[in-house]
Copies of this chain bind each other. A is one copy, B any other.
Amino acid sequence: MARYIKVAWQDLYRFTIECFVKVGVPISDAELIADHLVLANLRGVDSHGVIRIPYYIEGIRMGYVKAKSEIKIVREGGGTALIDGCGGLGIPVAVRATDIAIDKAKAIGIAAVAVKNLGHVGMLAYYTLRIAKNNLIGLATVNGPPFVAPWGGAQKIFGTNPLSIAFPSHDKPIVIDMATSAIASFKLKLAAMKGEKIPEGIALTKDGKPTTNPEEAYEGILLPFGGYKGYAISLVVEILSAIVSGGALSKYVPRHPSTQGGFFVLAINPMAFRDYSGYLADIKDLIHTIKTCPPAQGFTEVLIPGEPEDRNYSTRIRDGIPIDLETWRILTELAKELGVEPPPTSQ
């Protein structure tokens, strides 16, 4: 028995728009959310793909987020802005914040925008890729509900606090997008759903004991990646996201897959420093150096950050997006309830 069905991205995109429109999300916002979630699936980041549809809709129904996103610019300078997301769905709010950062960075070379009071922003690479498409360097961070202990601690203080950084290149952008926890919390849900175990050394039970059970870990405590250095990066993400914006520290964020603390986005124009051709030539040199590096024992090649996702994208845009049966069951139930036609599938 196949564990997956397949859906063409165009059909999944239309389906996603219809679901959100049915619950009162304006069509232009629903299009942004659909573009975002389907891109996550195309890149193989299934934890941030259409599996989020039912959670975002539940978030609207439970009052965690508002269907109609508004933004207020609270404070603004030449290279900075603080935005109040007014409790709206995170993706449309974060896109608007990102576009403000892009415009300002094009004008003066560098800009940062901080956002408080918004819902879950999804896959951070969506925003940094948007920046990189404008030939700018992008950085984005968010904090969220508490899952992660500081290094040496046994209490959840930080969200999984992801960080994304993208660099434009002569070819596809170099794009990093990583939780600063040793594992992303939603990947625990996915592992539990698939009946898989998680590696050792990345999570504790709620009583502080090591575990490889994703459900115990989800109810327990995650550890930061990379020991005290990863803890430091997690702390940086917490401060940039929640404190620069005046949003909620992770410990105050209600635990639901539709919630977020604050969002921080930074754009830097390489052309403010040097000619773009010189920048691109050096990026090309560096990528070539990495790709021709002899692999270490146990490896077949050295990857550039974003390369595995680009490969998934190429395959899935051609062959369709695989969706595991449990996610598919949840999506078709939701479709029925909302009166939306589920997308056609293939095996």
Contact = CB atoms under 8 A, between A and B. Distances in A.
Interface of A: 75, 77-80, 82, 108-112, 114, 137, 149-155, 157, 165, 167, 174, 176, 178, 180, 204, 208, 225-233, 235-236, 238-239, 242-246, 249, 251, 268-270, 272-274, 278-279, 282-283, 285-286, 289-290, 293-297, 299, 301-303, 305
13 contacts: A77-B272, A80-B109, A149-B293, A150-B302, A151-B303, A165-B232, A176-B235, A225-B227, A226-B227, A243-B282, A243-B286, A246-B274, A249-B285
A176 B302 CA distance: 29
Q: Report how many copies the assembly holds.
A: 2
Contacts of A244: 137, 268, 270, 273-274, 279
Contacts of A232: 165, 176, 178, 305
Contacts of A150: 290, 293, 302
Contact of A153 (B176, B246, B270, B299): B299
Given A150-B293, A301-B152, A239 B283 contact: yes
Given A150-B290, A208-B297, A244-B270, A233 B233 contact: yes
B249 A154 contact: no
Contact of A289 (B226, B227, B249): B249
A149 B296 contact: yes
A16 B119 CA distance: 54
A225 to B, nearest CB: 5
Contact of A155 (B157, B285, B286, B293): B293
Contacts of A269: 80
Contacts of A283: 239, 243
A66 to B, nearest CB: 23
A239 B286 contact: yes
B79 A109 contact: yes
Contact of A226 (B79, B225, B273): B225
A112 B110 contact: yes
Contact of A273 (B153, B235, B246, B303): B246
A295 B239 contact: no
Given A80-B268, A151-B303, A225-B227, 16 more contacts: A75-B273, A78-B108, A82-B272, A112-B268, A114-B273, A137-B239, A153-B293, A157-B290, A165-B236, A174-B239, A226-B229, A230-B230, A239-B286, A243-B286, A244-B274, A249-B286
A231 B242 CA distance: 26
Contacts of A154: 293-297
A340 to B, nearest CB: 38
Nearest to A296: B154
A238 B302 CA distance: 17
A109 B153 CA distance: 35
Contacts of A286: 238-239, 243, 249
A295 B152 contact: yes
A211 to B, nearest CB: 14
B79 A110 contact: yes
Given A79-B110, A108-B77, A208-B297, A176 B226 contact: no
Contacts of A229: 178, 180, 225-226, 230
Contacts of A110: 79-80, 110-112
